[in-house]
């Protein structure tokens, strides 16, 4: 049976990590539907959206680099204790996989821009240069990682809600 746990909630993440966390969350929930929407359009219809998607994606990449540096260099609160070893491992595992997926999405996004001739198309203003989506290998990985990211995001939010309902602890205080 799970025992009652009291975490040290006033122990918070640093201001920088808090700001990056929420900006990244907002950008991810914008980038995913934008990416899915673009996937169904003809190249000539989506030039502006691709530019916006790439710029916002690069902001996520830069923020993830800064956040990874902060992860090792600045003090952070202890891992949450949920009272269940499996839940604890799940929460920490999801946090760590987020970092890898965000790097993977950034690298595959940049590779898609280069190998799919998106960069050339944007620079020259010629959408016909964009390759057929099915022929761009990194775009397949990009789509799969984006989908896994969304599934983990749902689990991440569900974990926060479950912890609040079961343990009566508002863990958002640590990241606000």
- Give CA–CA dist 169/87, Å, rounded: 15
Site for ligand HEM in 72-101 (CB under 6 A): none
If binding is defined by CB under 6 A, does position 138 make contact with ligand HEM?
A: no
- Give CA–CA dist 55/89, Å, rounded: 34
- Give CA–CA dist 21/63, Å, rounded: 9
State the nearest-atom distance from the C-beta of 34 to ligand HEM, in Å: 7
For ligand HEM, the binding residue among 13, 91, 98, 118 (CB under 6 A) is 118
Residues touching ligand HEM, count (CB under 6 A): 28
Of residues 39 and 161, the one with the C-beta less far from ligand HEM: 39
**Which tokens go with 88?**
């604890």
- Give CA–CA dist 123/34, Å, rounded: 21
For ligand HEM, the binding residue among 13, 20, 57, 91 (CB under 6 A) is 57
Q: At what angle do helices 15-39 and 47-73 cross, to 10 degrees?
A: 150
State the nearest-atom distance from the C-beta of 132 to ligand HEM, in Å: 10
For ligand HEM, the binding residue among 50, 80, 91, 121 (CB under 6 A) is 50
Half-sphere exposure of 122 (CA within 13 A, CB side): 16
103 closest CA partner among 71, 58, 55: 58
Q: Which residues bind ligand HEM (CB under 6 A)?
A: 28, 31-32, 35-36, 38-39, 50, 53-54, 57-58, 60-61, 102, 105-106, 109-110, 112-113, 118, 133, 139, 142-143, 146, 149
């Amino acid at each position: 049976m799970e025992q009652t746990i009291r975490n040290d909630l006033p122990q918070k993440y640093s201001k920088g990590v808090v700001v990056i966390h929420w900006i990244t969350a907002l950008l991810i929930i914008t980038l995913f539907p934008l990416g899915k929407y673009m996937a169904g359009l003809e190249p000539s219809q989506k030039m502006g959206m691709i530019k916006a998607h790439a710029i916002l994606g690069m902001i996520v990449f830069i923020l993830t680099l800064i956040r990874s540096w902060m992860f090792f260099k600045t003090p952070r609160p202890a891992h949450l204790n949920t009272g269940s070893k499996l839940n604890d491992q799940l929460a920490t595992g999801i946090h760590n996989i987020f970092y890898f997926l965000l790097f993977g999405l950034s690298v595959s996004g940049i590779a898609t821009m280069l190998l799919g001739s998106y960069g050339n198309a944007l620079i020259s203003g010629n959408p016909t240069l964009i390759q057929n989506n099915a022929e761009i290998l990194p775009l397949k990985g990009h789509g799969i990682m984006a989908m896994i990211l969304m599934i983990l995001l749902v689990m991440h939010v569900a974990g926060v809600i479950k912890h609040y309902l079961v343990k009566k602890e508002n863990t958002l205080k640590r990241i606000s």
